[in-house]
Structure 1
Amino acid sequence: MKFQIESPEKLGLLIRASRKAMELRQDDAAGSIGVSENFLGKVERGAETVQWGKLFLVMKELGLDISVEVPEEFSSSAELHLKRLLDKRQSGNTAASGEDA
């Protein structure tokens, strides 16, 4: 089921609702995910200062996916730009890792 997310608060509430639907206590979920209970509480309250990496880890471990709908009139161009940016980032990461070797 898709949910429209307009704010960090709504995303947090959806994460909390999903955890509760799985019958997981907040402390148990935090421990199994590898984040603090305090961090998970911030996520579920929709705090605007959470770390992106940890937020996506929480979502992944709870089985939640996120997607962004791009307006159809821009989707082809956005897809092309995204591919170029990802290719550029990948080639930069490959060069950087080669320097460390």
Structure 2
Amino acid sequence: MKIQINTMAELGEVIRATRKANKIRLDDLAGMAGVGPVFVGDVEYGKETAQMGRVIKLMSELGLKFTVDVPTSAEPYLEKIRKGKGLIRPSKRKAHKTTST
């Protein structure tokens, strides 16, 4: 089944339901994904500031796939970025020297 996710709470519900359906304890999932059990609980209850990389690890351990519906207008830019042609990293700001008088 494919469903649209609009909030972290909705994603958390899917993660929790999948974990429970597979009879995986929260702390076991945390160990499998290399995160803490508090983090898993936070994600399952929709914490807005959860680190995306860790959330994707949880999803992967549960067999959930993360897909994005990319607009057609963004496809050429995505291709360019993936090829490394158009990926311009911002330069680090130089520290301002202060002089005392």
Q: Classify the TM-score, shorter chain.
A: 0.7 to 0.9
Shift of 1:69: 2.0
Distance 1:81 1:87 in 2: 10
Cα-Cα RMSD: 1.8
Show the counterpart of 2:23.
23
One of 82, 87, 90 as aligned partner of 2:78: 82
Give aligned-pair identity as a percent. Answer: 45
Shift of 1:46: 0.9
- Output the amino acid matched with 2:18: S
Distance 1:88 1:78 in 2: 15
Show the counterpart of 2:40.
40
Number of equivalenced pairs: 87
Q: Which string of whole-angstrom CA distances, capped at 9 and with x for unpartnered residues, describes residues 47-101 of structure 1?
A: 011111111111111110021224xxx41x3111101112127x88xxxxxxxxx
Shift of 1:42: 0.8
Distance 2:67 2:31 in 1: 26
Show the counterpart of 2:92.
none
Q: Which runs of 5+ in 1 are unaligned?
A: 93-101
Q: TM-score, normalised by structure 2?
A: 0.78
Q: Which runs of 5+ in 2 are unaligned?
A: 89-101
- Output the amino acid matched with 2:82: L
Distance 2:52 2:4 in 1: 19
Tell me the secondary structure at the aligned position of residue 12 of structure 1.
helix
Shift of 1:16: 0.3
Tell me the secondary structure at the aligned position of residue 18 of structure 1.
helix
Distance 1:80 1:12 in 2: 32
